[in-house]
Amino acid sequence: MAESIVINTGPIISLGKVGILPLVEQLPFEFFTTEQVSSEIISGVRAGHSVEIPDWIEVRSLTKQPDDHLFSTLDTGEASVIQLAEELSVRTVCIDEIKGRRSAVERGIRCIGSLGLLGRMSALDLLDDLDEVIRRIRTSGVYYSEALLDAFIRDLELKRRGSERH
């Protein structure tokens, strides 16, 4: 059975902008998101953005009253993603924003970001040209600090070298 992940708006948009969102479906995960994230994406489409939620991401409603602490300290998408993970007993969320990541971890939820998904795709050889994907990240308007992107690339290179030795 595939591991479940609740995914936030940022990773959907980031991976969509660089053209690799369809590849995410090939990862061994079952993806969920919230109605709040869906609304954010739909608002973006209405404003002229091209990234939509693919049909392999299941949109779910929150079943409990919104957690006042989460919704008062985070944006609606992040708060709803964390709450849905708790409601579904999903152990992992995909959030890029640091404040949301910290809140998830404080609640005992593992956190992966869009670069973490990209790393998994690379490890499973789902990407034809990782260098091209990195170039598109740098030129597509997706923001990652250069330090974070450089550390990600170094980590992937170390993992690649380590797997070549075995």
How far, in Å, CA of 139 to CA of 76, rounded? 28
How far, in Å, CA of 144 to CA of 133, rounded? 13
User: pLDDT truncated to tens, each residue of the chain (166 aa)?
Assistant: 689 999 999 999 999 999 999 999 999 999 999 999 999 999 988 887 888 899 999 999 999 998 999 999 999 999 999 999 999 999 999 999 999 999 999 999 999 999 999 999 999 999 888 889 988 988 888 888 888 888 888 888 777 766 666 5
Amino acid identity of residue 94, one-letter, is: C
- Coil/strand/helix, residue 101: helix
Give the global pTM: 0.90
Handedness of CA 22, 24, 26, 32 (dihedral sign): negative
Amino acid identity of residue 137, one-letter, is: I
In tens, the pLDDT along 142-161 reads: 888 888 888 888 888 777 76
* Contact indicator for 8, 106 with CB cutoff of 8 Å: no
Non-local (6+) Cβ contacts of 4 within 8 A are 29, 30, 31, 32, 88, 90, 91, 92
Superfamily (CATH H level) for 1-166: 5'-nuclease (3.40.50.1010)
Non-local (6+) Cβ contacts of 118 within 8 A are 15, 20, 127, 133, 152
